[in-house]
Every structure is written in structure tokens, then in C-alpha cells.
């Protein structure tokens, strides 16, 4: 695959403690391609957007702001619609995932073997902060349940790091506004025609605690189960 530009889409909601460091890391990430950085502020109530607005003076950065808080899926939908790069990388704003690993995520595209790449926290060989047992079990259960219906063998369906050929992801209608984006897009990628070449690579994971700002809660897990059923059984 010929790659000239990569689009990095960053959904952001109340990440004033991390967005500055994250944007600096994304800008400085070493890749041999032009970077298009798209930040979508989902109506933050802290000073996240003021920090983003400062960075938007950089010509490589495009900043958008929702007038109402809608959720991660809605922010990604906005970002994807504005992307012009050859491939699109999803990057959370919370510094749990390291932009220095972009080369590993991009390599299957460079080798011409992948249409989609997931960065798995559970494939090993990378650093992983030890945190919540039940959160980890929940992620693994959701991945297993998703795999049972998609017939994929992913190890980390819920990962932030998802990389797509732009023409593929822009051809998929994303309906979910919140964290349901992950099971929805996975189901629709699995059903995509012609069949897509989906790869996983191991990535580091620097998870944070709820005291440090982690937002996902048990209700999002319940919603994910519903989304797995919905988008695999009757809403593809």
C-alpha cells in the first residue's frame, strides 16, 4: 500500500491533565509520513479546548468542537468524516496508549498485508500497567463474546488503537455515540465485503485509575453486550 499521509483522530472530553502531553507525543512521533492530526473536543467542561486551540495554530492539526457532549463514538464519527489521510489511526487523549508505537501499527499496511490493524494490550511483549482484575476480565469477556458472533479471533476488541484504510472506515456507517463504537465497528468490519484482512499487533498499555480520570464504567460494559448482539445479529 502506498502511504503518503496518516490521519490521527483524537476524541477528547475533559482531558486537560493529559491533552497537552498527548498532543506533544503525537506531534513528535517518528513516522516517515505526513501527519494529519484531527482533534474532536466533545464539549469539555474543563480547559481542554483552550489547550487544543493553542495547538491548532499548527497547520498539521485540525480542531473541532461539539456544541453538546455526545460521546466517544460521535467524536470519532466527526473526525473520520474530516480525515484525508491514506490510513486512519484512533488515538485516545488520556495517554494510556503510546504514539511512539505508530510504526508497529502501520507496518502491516506498509507490507501490503492488512486493511485493518488492532493494537492488542493482551498479546504480550510490551509494557502493561497492572491495575483492575475485573476490568481486565470484562474486556476479555467482551472480546470473547464478540469473537463468537463475528468469527474473528481477536485478543482485544475494546482496544483504543484501531487503524484502518481510510476508504474502508469512511464506507462504514457508525451509529453508536458512546463506547459502543468498539463492538459496532468490529462487527461491521467482520461483515465487510469483500472480506478484510485484519491484523493485531501487541501494544503497551499505561492504564490509569478512576482517581486519575478513567471514565468507562460497568454500565458501558452492559451497553457493549447489547451492541455486540445488535450489530452482529440484526443491524449490520
Domain count for the chain, please give it.
1
Average pLDDT value over all residues in the chain: 91
Residues 113-131, mean pLDDT to the nearest whole number: 80
Domain, as residue range, for 98: 5-233
- Per-residue pLDDT of 146-170, as tens digits, reads 999 999 999 999 999 999 999 999 9
- Per-residue pLDDT of 66-95, as tens digits, reads 999 999 999 999 999 999 999 999 999 999
- Per-residue pLDDT of 55-74, as tens digits, reads 988 889 999 999 999 999 99
pLDDT of residue 218: 62
Residue 210 banded pLDDT, cuts 50, 70, 90? low
> CA nearest 3: which of 103, 100, 109?
109
Contact present, 56 and 62 (Cβ < 8 Å): yes
Contact present, 76 and 90 (Cβ < 8 Å): yes
pLDDT of residue 130: 53
pLDDT of residue 217: 64
- Per-residue pLDDT of 7-38, as tens digits, reads 999 999 999 999 999 999 999 999 999 999 99
Cα–Cα dist 27/34, whole Å: 10
CATH of the domain at 125: 3.90.550.10
Q: What angle do CA 49, 54, 57 make, to 5 degrees?
A: 125
**pTM of this prediction?**
0.92
Residue 186 banded pLDDT, cuts 50, 70, 90? very high
Amino acid at each position: 500500500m502506498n502511504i503518503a499521509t496518516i490521519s490521527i483522530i483524537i476524541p477528547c472530553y475533559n482531558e486537560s491533565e493529559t491533552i497537552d502531553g498527548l498532543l506533544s507525543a503525537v506531534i513528535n512521533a517518528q513516522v516517515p509520513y505526513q501527519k494529519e492530526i484531527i482533534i474532536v473536543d466533545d464539549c469539555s467542561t474543563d480547559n481542554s479546548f483552550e489547550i487544543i486551540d493553542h495547538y491548532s495554530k499548527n497547520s498539521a492539526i485540525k480542531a473541532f468542537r461539539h456544541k453538546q457532549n455526545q460521546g466517544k463514538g460521535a467524536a470519532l464519527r466527526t473526525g473520520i468524516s474530516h480525515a484525508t489521510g491514506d490510513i486512519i489511526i484512533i488515538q485516545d487523549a488520556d495517554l494510556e496508549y503510546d504514539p511512539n508505537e505508530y510504526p508497529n501499527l502501520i507496518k502491516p499496511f506498509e507490507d501490503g498485508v492488512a486493511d485493518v490493524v488492532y493494537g492488542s494490550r493482551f498479546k504480550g511483549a510490551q509494557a502493561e500497567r497492572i491495575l483492575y482484575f475485573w476490568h481486565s476480565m470484562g474486556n476479555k469477556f467482551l472480546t470473547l463474546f464478540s469473537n463468537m458472533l463475528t468469527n474473528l479471533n481477536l485478543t482485544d476488541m475494546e482496544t483504543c488503537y484501531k487503524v484502518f484504510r481510510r476508504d474502508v472506515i469512511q464506507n462504514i456507517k457508525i451509529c453508536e455515540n458512546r463506547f459502543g463504537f468498539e463492538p459496532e465497528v468490529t462487527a461491521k468490519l467482520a461483515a465487510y465485503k469483500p472480506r478484510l484482512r485484519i491484523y493485531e499487533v501487541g501494544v503497551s498499555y499505561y492504564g490509569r485509575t478512576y482517581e486519575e480520570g478513567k471514565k468507562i464504567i460497568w454500565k458501558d460494559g452492559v451497553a457493549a453486550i447489547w451492541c455486540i448482539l445488535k450489530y452482529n445479529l440484526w443491524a449490520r
